[in-house]
Amino acid sequence: MAQSQHQPSSIFELEYPHSVAVYDSYAEAQKAVDFLADQRFEVKNLCIVGTDLKSVERVLGRKSWGSVISNAVVSGIGTGLFVGLLLLIFVPMANVLVMLLVAIVMAILISIVFQAIAYAMSGGRRDFTSVSQTVATKYEVLCEHKTVQQARELLTTMPGARAAAFTNPPPAQQPSQSTEGAADEA
């Protein structure tokens, strides 16, 4: 009877991963993995995972008719250049410059019309422009179970690791409800 080996279904999965260390920034986690690589550790057994995700939206400015139209013009120029270059490749024409200018002007006009309609229909809701990003607040280095202890031991020899253990003590554990309930009953 043959035993089947557990194989990760993706390059991003480890076989029975265990936590090696948790860091506050990606740069710190990357530095730890780099240190392990310098120590000849099999880094193919490691994975950096961003945890405690949060969404951050950065407001860039107020939206007005001027900003809507200027954004439409910029968008139209890019689209017009793209369409013009595609036409240039697939439809040979005698006057390339005129064809390119017509494509840009048409794209600008179409972009202004559609973006103006969308802004008018918004009814004053969300009158600002922004960009958003999902970021992790913690970065955990995971390792396959076979070599996790070796990775932990090597990281204790990393320069500054001992000092970090004293400057960043683990958070105090909260008493569990079952412990509190038992104390109340006694």
Nearest by Cα to 36 from 138, 148, 146: 148
C-alpha to C-alpha distance for 186 and 173, rounded to whole angstroms: 22
If one compares 53 and 179, the residue with the highest pLDDT of the two is: 53
Cβ-contact 141, 34 below 8 angstroms: no
Cβ-contact 77, 104 below 8 angstroms: yes
Which of helix, strand or coil describes residue 15?
coil
pLDDT at 93: 78
The angle that helices 26-38 and 148-156 make with each other, rounded to 10 degrees, is: 100
**pLDDT confidence of 8, banded at 50, 70, 90?**
low
What does the block give as tokens for 17?
Answer: 């991963």
Question: How do 128-144 and 46-62 pair as beta strands?
Answer: antiparallel
Residue 165 has pLDDT above 90, yes or no: no
What would the pLDDT profile of 15-39 be if each residue is shown by its tens digit?
889 999 999 999 999 999 999 999 9
What would the pLDDT profile of 103-121 be if each residue is shown by its tens digit?
999 999 999 999 999 999 9
**pLDDT confidence of 167, banded at 50, 70, 90?**
low
Domains in the chain and their CATH numbers?
17-56+134-171 (3.30.70), 64-125 (no CATH)
